[in-house]
Structure 1
């Protein structure tokens, strides 16, 4: 009816990520049968059809053009919507709009950068699927970028609709925009249907569940994702405040700005949510110590515990008198912030990356562990060490309470922390890849060494052979 049999390619990401191996095998068998049938019939693609189909490069350029046109339209509509408001209401409204949408925008940025990570690993022939114990249906960097592209389209579109409807007096419709967006994201993650990369979504959910309840042995993917979650503590804090306002029907209002509001800036839930990723990572370290008995895991747990006083001392600004905050709690907060930043920086360089630069100035203490696959130049290591120190201190400074209402500064600092974690991923995976290679080389070298029985048999055969030769050809 539509021109004959159409076969799906065997390397389709929807088949590989959504369906099982049985489906992939059946599709592959069907494709082979159809190809053989076409060959027997002598079928060939008409020249007119090949001329009508656009080239992949032209199609890709057309999609990029549409993407930028849509982004320009959203920016123009959003700007005119903001300019329609009064100056007094504009700042409060933008603060609320950023609160609802900046968590998802930061998650979108993280997804884009994760795709870049996977692309670099694939170019450097790093078997990241083996490192993270992924199955054959795992997402590649192209599919990660495809997800990031849809997120980049959907989230700003919802934000533009929110700005436009609110500025034109449609408050109820404006309030429904973030609610619908958050509900759609939740349904997308937990959907049991075999669509939208089901196996990858459930892999993420299972890993998150193991992070929350570390009841079994900790794998590399468990504490790797938990480390990334510590960089997204601000995202979780804003998510909590956004969901709180949706539940209490405070969206598109300024009732939440009052000090006694349940979802206001004085809420006790804010520091509790901020500290959760560090608590999860702390208990992971204790579980590792129970399983392995390595004392370094206790030192790692101590590192995550240093973030607790930073968060709670910062939150005291809203619950104590200004004089007590200035004279007592702010100096303690500064001391704990410096301790957390330096400790975390030291652990990144010497443990997570295993560069050991503190043994010699501007020299690597363990050069054999430095990657020869990804980053061959030493200036790359010097750059990431210096930028990691600066961004560590910046991320700790973000936890200061007096920045809570400066949404643009907070968004910029949170984006810089995600970029710092993006750099951290390269060197953390590099270190793990080097460890796996060194272990495999040691196992191969051990297998090449003959055991004692082989040595004895070899020596006996040699003696028997020499005795036979002497008997056959006496001197």
Structure 2
């Protein structure tokens, strides 16, 4: 029973491990099969050895991500250099009399998109700081898992930075070389492309995020429902970009009436000219949207704070319309009567808005310690709990609030370079405002959740006491 020799099959799992040669071969006719299996397994082992070598060789051939990033940065700077060179040489080809008028028209078409691009870069920076801190901005804005992170926002901003100046450079080059019709088509194509990307219904180019943006804009224009944090947050940002909407209106008006690549804007009686009534109307729209939101919020909550907030936005209306009256009244009447009223309304709007930013939107009356980061870094050391950060933000906010009044004044719009710089500074002020406003909202949400938990614990304790009392009474 135990004396005969038992020869197990060559494919027994007890005699070899995966990738090794068989230890025992079958005799007779099975020997060849065992040899073939051993040969095949040896080939598999060699293939397994060759595969990591091929992967390592492929990894050695592929450039590192840092090298690719440096190459992209180099291409970006080369592109910027060529755009500046072509644009400057194109402007220098024009006569001195035509140059200033033409540059104003170029700014009219492209400065709104340049300011929007600047705002997108800053919004990506906001999201980057939030991702490094304890603030959950996705929870605050009630975003789903498909929301864009800071890298994707910066990617969008990078493409905007490439496309918009490229179109402006082509506009300058074609106009300076006599191709007026082709030059006029450049801003038209750019605006149409931007509009198509926003409303494109297919699942490309971040469809869910575009839908969220358009839905929020619709809720801002028609506040027929309860106001969410995302609604009035975006509406506040739109108030800082009122000049962008005003220039967009003038640009679209000129495109519709085929006045691109002309100087018809300089004529006061032009339908899209600098004296147009549509300019103050478009400037005041973001403030009216925010005003109606505050009234809607008061209707839902009955909080008097919403009425005071609505009063703040109403103070921007006289600043805009008193300034626009310069083009529609006699100069003496403007200088002696309307100009002092404009200055008084400007000071009132600036101081009221500054007070509301510090005490209501930011709640910095006690210099609370904010900007708490998840892990120590150079930014956490610079920002967290530093008093100079608060002094800088409060001081710069006051100064930029006052200069923003200059921006809202329609009678000062001919200083287009100064107005463009002030508009960019206002967007930067709003970029600073976002940090403190979102942090304050996050602190409020945490305090509410803590209060609710404590209240639920207290109610649970009360229920226990009632049960104990009822049981004692029954006994």
Corresponding residue number in structure 1 for 2:152:
143
Question: What SS class does the counterpart of residue 451 from structure 1 fall into?
Answer: helix
Inter-partner Cα distance in structure 2 for 1:182 and 1:405: 24
Among 439, 449, 453, the residue aligned to 2:463: 453
Alignment of structure 1 residues 4-153 onto 2, 5 Å: 44=52, 46-153=55-162
Distance (whole Å) between structure 2 residues aligned to residue 306 and residue 49 of structure 1:
65
SS at match of 2:275: coil
- Please identify runs of 4+ aligned residues in structure 1 that moved more than 4 A: 41-45, 367-374, 456-463
- Which position in structure 2 is the counterpart of 1:187? 196
- Equivalence map 1:146-225=2 (5 Å): 146-225=155-234
User: Which position in structure 1 is the counterpart of 2:436?
Assistant: 427
Q: Give the superposition deviation at 1:405.
A: 1.3
Q: What are the Cα deviations for residues 217-271 of structure 1, in whole angstroms up to 9, with x where unaligned?
A: 0000000000000000000000000000000000001122111100000100000
Aligned partners of 1:278 and 1:98: how far apart in 2?
24
What SS does the aligned partner of 2:329 have? coil
Select the residue among 318, 325, 329 that pairs with 1:320. Answer: 329
Cα distance in structure 1, aligned partners of 2:384 and 2:235: 25
Separation in 2 of the partners of 1:399 and 1:456? 63
Give the Cα–Cα distance (whole angstroms) in 2 for the partners of residues 391 and 123 of structure 1.
28
Instruction: Confirm whether residue 443 of structure 1 aligns to residue 452 of structure 2.
Output: yes
> Residue 388 of structure 2 aligns with which residue?
379
| Contact 1:100 1:178 survives alignment (8 Å) | yes
1:251 aligned partner: 260
C-alpha deviation, 1:457, in angstroms: 5.1
Q: TM-score under structure 1 normalisation?
A: 0.84
Report SS of the residue matched to 1:425.
Answer: helix
Paired residues of 1:313 and 1:329 also in contact (CA < 8 A): yes
Structure 2 residue 399 is the aligned partner of structure 1 residue 390: yes
**Equivalent residue number for residue 302 of structure 1:** 311
Classify 1:63/1:460 alpha carbon distance in 2 versus 1 (closer, same or farther; 3 Å): same
1:231 is aligned, of 231, 235, 240, to 240
Q: What CA distance in whole angstroms lies between the structure 2 residues aligned with 1:339 and 1:255? A: 36
Q: Work out the CA distance in 2 between the residues paired with 1:379 and 1:406.
A: 34
The 2-side partners of 1:296 and 1:121 are apart by 28
Q: Separation in 1 of the partners of 2:207 and 2:384?
A: 34
**1:369 and 1:431 in contact (8 A); partners too:** no
Report the count of equivalent residues.
Answer: 416
SS at match of 1:46: helix
CA contact (8 A) 2:294 2:309 kept: yes
- 1:337 is aligned to 346
Q: Which SS does the other structure have where 2:224 is aligned?
A: coil
Equivalent-residue separation in structure 2 for 1:113 and 1:372 (angstroms):
20
Question: 1:401: Cα distance to partner?
Answer: 3.2
Partner of 1:359: none
Distance in 2 of aligned mates of 1:352 and 1:368: 13
Q: In the alignment, is the contact (CA less than 8 A) between 1:315 and 1:401 conserved in 2?
A: yes
Structure 1: give runs of 5+ residues left out of the alignment: 1-40, 357-363, 464-475
CA RMSD of aligned residues (A): 2.0
Cα distance, 1:462 vs. partner? Answer: 11
TM-score, normalised relative to structure 2? 0.84
Q: 1:105 to 1:368 in 2, by over 3 A?
A: closer
Deviation at 1:46, TM superposition (A): 2.3
2:72 aligned counterpart, secondary structure:
helix
Once the two structures are superposed, what CA deviation does each residue of 1:86-128 show, in whole Å capped at 9, x if it has no partner? 0000000000000000000000000000000000001013100
Distance 2:384 2:289 in 1: 32
Shift of 1:426: 0.4
Deviates more, 1:326-335 or 1:437-446: 437-446
- Offset, 1:370: 5.2
Provide the rounded CA distance (Å) in 2 between the counterparts of 1:315 and 1:183: 30
**1:460: how far off?**
9.2
Paired with 1:186 and 1:372, the residues of 2 have a C-alpha distance of 39
1:18 matched to which residue of 2?
Answer: none
- Contact map agreement 2:354 2:401 (CA 8 A) in 1: yes
What does residue 300 of structure 2 align with?
Answer: 291
Task: Verify the 8 A CA contact 2:133 2:371 in the aligned structure 1.
Answer: no
